[in-house]
Structure 1
Amino acid sequence: MELSGEAAAWLDWLAAGEVPPSVALMHLAAGAPGPEAVEAALAAAAGPADAEARGRLAAARDLWRANPQAWGIVREVLGGVDHGEELEGARAVAALAAAFDRAARASPEGSVALYALGSPALLRAATEEIVAALDAWGLLSREARLVDLGCGIGRVAAALAPRVAAVTGLDIAPAMIAAARERCAGLANVALHLGSGRDLAPVPTGGADLVLAVDSFPYLVQAGLAADHVREAARVLRPGGDLVVLNYSYRGDLARDRREAAALAASHGFRLIRAGTAPFTTWDGRAFQLRRL
């Protein structure tokens, strides 16, 4: 089978261990006319000389076969969320809210982490990695007050609630907030709000120790609202508090992301602690950590 250049690149990166299997499969599914095309692409790439590379490709094939829903979910979610739409401000917020409502109805897991391929188990593993990283960075404590910016279906809020004093979750999509409230039911220290997409208004000044944005900043960057939210994070964080952004954009330009994050940090009273590190094995999140001066 002759592979497209993009598909061949993702398979090469997968074989080399540069991307997790789930991420490579997500990109293959996004460009494939059907699930059988992904299977064929994996088979066509299954013969490298390196045994470790063959093992990675075999693991990806097994993961694909274990998730027959993956192709349909990837295509349906991507069909409803435009990652390149040129809208700004209120129009962008409204368009994204509608898009994520559609995505949440298509697949709650896929709507917040498409690399999970619609699998609760894959999403749980990625969420556990986020919690472990925050813990390793010394950002979790029983006294910590956390803001989950773009909380989606509440998977991070629910995972962090037992580790911190309070979690405030914000999202612009009503269907996401509804799913989050269902997931977090019974967690007395979790408060969930339908946000404006332009600020952190439900959070009082100085009322947070950590603002966490998991795969939400790319949409703020797309909508021209990144600076507004860094400014708001500076307002709500206590001195020494942290803004952690996991994926700054989806532009595929890490150098540009680093430059912009550094500029925003300097402009709004932060020190850049992490600038696009890659601490995860289950997904391709890049970590930016800004500490409030």
Structure 2
Amino acid sequence: MTWSTADIPDLTGRRALVTGATSGLGYETAKELLRHGAEVLIAARNPQKTADAARKLTAETGKEPVSIELDLADLSSVQRAATQVSESYDHIDVLVNNAGVMATPYRQTIDGFELQIGTNHLGHFALTGRLMPLLSNGRVVTVSSFMHKSASTVQEYDLRLPEGSYSKWPQYSRSKLANLLFMFELGRRVPNVLSVGAHPGYASTHLQAAGPELAGAKLTAKLWSGFNLFAQSAAAGAQPSLYAATRDDLHQGTYVGPSFFEFRGSPKVVHATRAAQDPERAQQLWDWSVEATGVDPALSVPR
């Protein structure tokens, strides 16, 4: 029996925060959560795009989300966003760590980390840690990618990878491996918060073209847009995240992806690589991430 968004239960009284919700997977995730009764906070970097997305979501669902300004590539912005949420709310039921960048030209975050791992992993690591006091008996959904399968390890060196050692696709894969190492380790260290993961398969979003656009490669960006003709829709790609965010029968470390060779189709429980499930690698990455961000999610464990 296949799962669809029609199987999402009534979420009235539940509160969710979705990062990167101005378009693509994040937008579709926020939309379905709103449609099923949840109060939804949408967090993204560009205030104008966030406001536009909020208006569109309101028109489509009849429920107005709350907009939060959040730049995951700036740890001070992460702190400000978490403070804003903490001052306004006493709990978060679901945190969907969805936002990300992919295969960008070499850039550094405000804090000097390589952009992809700084945004995709470190920003979400810090956000989760700062929101941890609100997540009592809640869940954290970490959105990864099947591209994690092409990475075998993450080194401390990768966090501040210099330009001369940078290769955009291998670094993207390492950032997605880091997502899963964090997901599994969070479940081990904070057992009363459900830590699960998801990946969209191959979904049609702007993410694939964003990297070439940053590099000024207009033709490559157009080619990626053409490839999206073979992809499933963003709404379909968001289903694994929604499954992970709303099913009541999941256990720590559940990882959800599309059913057809993890490429497309209805969501099902899938398997992360052995490297992603390695507790020693996960412990190392956790320690490096604490040192890099100044935040330890396990030190603010909700009671």
Structure with the greater relative contact order (CA < 8 A, sep ≥ 6): 1 or 2? 2
Normalising by the residue count of structure 2, what TM-score does the alignment of the two structures yield?
A: 0.35
Normalising by the residue count of structure 1, what TM-score does the alignment of the two structures yield?
A: 0.36
- Between structure 1 and structure 2, the one with the greater Rg is 1
